[in-house]
């Protein structure tokens, strides 16, 4: 299979879809790998690193999309990439389609085979989301601490406090991978940390492994309204596979927050778990609503590409190889994790959560494969 890796063009997105060791694995398996010139530069991989591993360097994204059967990316296609997509082309990347109706319609119209990292699921695990969730969780307390400073029009509270001065109080909403890593870093910085979730086993685990400055609280509206006036930082860490994030802090609740508090909405890729959130970029990361600072950068790990690229591509490469070796149809039917990753195929939405979010018709992927001649089935 011809596999292409274009350079990421989302604002301040420095990751790349494959590292040289992944190229070598694919080439040794009989595949052709094409990578756009300088695509790995910010992740500290040169063009020579890729050519020595067996890749072919192409000069621009159009050559990549025109040449390749599978496009391997990190972030969802940007508007300037829409016209490059071709029918039947496999797109394997983070998509987060639930809040992105326009992109969902484009993928349908173009009849792309859109496989989303974030919905590849093994049991209860989302193995291609976990490494980036880990990194985003670790970043969140650091950016919150920085933007809590007075020169950012925030409270001017040091997250770890000082002798005779209390530390910041941090509320983390969620109890999954993002939450655990955010709690680990925030507690290590000396904050008073409260993790609010609904999964009893996850919260028990957190209590067992976290230091004494981390406590847990059951998530409901009553408890949220009681705790919001007491915290300096809120980290939204909610994820429901493929679905639009629920608004656990409503517009009305914002009035309960301290003036100058900082909200970091890590769930912004899925629409955000704070009603007043909207996607921001590393160039312009924050905005203020009613005196409360919002940080809603939709690609937080992209600013730490050396770490993030390694962590992501080490997780994705076994799935890439299986899809390339078997073809996406056979790989999907053979591997339930890949099957769960297919969000759009041949003009049909095959992920229930995405169909529900956009009120589009949902089609079972197996029926699409079985009944469409172009996918090897019969009508």
Task: Give the active site residue among 96, 247, 294, 358.
Answer: 96
Domain ranges of the chain: 2-126+305-375, 135-303
Task: Give the active site residue among 192, 232, 269, 335.
Answer: 269
Distances (CA, A) of 28 to 33, 324, 327: 11, 12, 17
Q: Give catalytic status of residue 294 as yes or no.
A: no
d(CA 23, CA 52): 10
d(CA 69, CA 364): 23
Distances (CA, A) of 279 to 79, 188, 283, 333, 374: 16, 28, 12, 35, 37
Residues 280 and 296 sit within 8 Å (Cβ to Cβ): yes
**H-only helix segments in the chain:** 20-28, 47-53, 61-67, 101-110, 130-147, 177-188, 200-209, 221-227, 305-326, 328-334, 336-341, 352-358, 365-371
**Given this model, what pLDDT does residue 124 score?**
87
d(CA 238, CA 205): 17
What is the homologous superfamily of the domain 135-303 according to CATH?
NAD(P)-binding Rossmann-like Domain (3.40.50.720)
Q: Give catalytic status of residue 269 as yes or no.
A: yes
Domains 2-126+305-375 and 135-303 share a fold: yes
d(CA 54, CA 28): 9
For the chain, 379 residues long, give each residue's pLDDT as a single digit of tens.
999 999 999 989 999 999 999 999 999 999 999 999 999 999 999 999 999 999 999 999 999 999 999 999 999 999 999 999 999 999 999 999 999 999 999 999 999 999 999 999 999 899 999 999 999 999 999 999 999 999 999 999 999 999 999 999 999 999 999 999 999 999 999 999 999 999 999 899 999 999 999 999 999 999 999 999 999 999 999 988 888 899 999 999 999 999 999 999 999 999 999 999 999 999 999 999 999 999 999 999 999 999 999 999 999 999 999 999 999 999 999 999 999 999 999 999 999 999 999 999 999 999 999 876 666 554 3
**Given this model, what pLDDT does residue 376 score?**
56
Reduce the DSSP state of residue 134 to 3 states and report it: helix
CATH entry 3.40.50.720 includes domain 2-126+305-375? yes
**Given this model, what pLDDT does residue 379 score?**
37
Residues 196 and 227 sit within 8 Å (Cβ to Cβ): yes
């Amino acid at each position: 299979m011809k596999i292409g890796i274009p350079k990421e063009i989302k604002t301040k997105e420095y990751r790349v879809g494959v590292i040289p060791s992944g190229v070598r694995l694919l080439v040794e398996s009989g595949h052709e790998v094409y990578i756009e010139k300088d695509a790995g530069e910010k992740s500290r991989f040169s063009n020579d690193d890729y050519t020595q591993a067996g890749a072919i360097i192409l000069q621009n994204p159009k050559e990549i999309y025109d040449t390749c059967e599978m496009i391997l990316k990190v972030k969802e296609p940007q508007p300037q990439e829409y016209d490059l997509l071709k029918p039947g082309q496999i797109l394997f990347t983070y998509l987060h389609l639930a809040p992105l109706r326009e992109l969902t319609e484009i993928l349908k119209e173009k009849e792309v085979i859109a496989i989303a990292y974030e919905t590849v699921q093994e049991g209860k695990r989302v193995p291609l989301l976990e490494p980036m969730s880990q990194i985003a969780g670790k970043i969140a307390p650091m950016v919150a601490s920085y933007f809590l400073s007075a020169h950012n029009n925030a409270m001017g509270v040091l997250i770890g406090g000082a002798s005779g001065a209390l530390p910041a109080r941090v509320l983390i909403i969620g109890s999954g991978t993002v939450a655990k890593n955010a709690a680990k870093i925030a507690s290590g910085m000396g904050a008073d940390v409260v993790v609010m979730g609904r999964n009893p086993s996850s919260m028990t685990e957190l209590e067992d492994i976290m230091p004494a400055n981390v406590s847990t609280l059951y998530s409901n509206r009553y408890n949220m309204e009681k705790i919001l006036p007491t915290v300096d930082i809120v980290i939204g860490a909610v994820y429901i596979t493929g679905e639009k994030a629920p608004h656990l802090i409503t517009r009305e609740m914002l009035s309960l927050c301290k003036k100058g508090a900082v909200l970091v909405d890590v769930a912004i890729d899925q629409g955000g778990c704070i009603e007043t959130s909207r996607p921001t970029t590393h160039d312009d990361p924050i905005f203020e609503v009613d005196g409360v600072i919002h940080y809603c950068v939709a690609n937080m790990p992209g600013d730490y590409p050396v770490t993030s690229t390694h962590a992501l591509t080490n997780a994705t490469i076994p799935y890439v190889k299986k899809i390339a070796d078997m073809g996406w149809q056979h790989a999907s039917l053979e591997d339930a994790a890949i099957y769960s990753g297919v969000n759009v195929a041949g003009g049909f939405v095959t992920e229930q959560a995405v169909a529900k979010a956009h009120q589009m018709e949902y089609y079972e992927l197996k029926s699409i494969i079985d009944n469409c001649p172009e996918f090897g089935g019969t009508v």
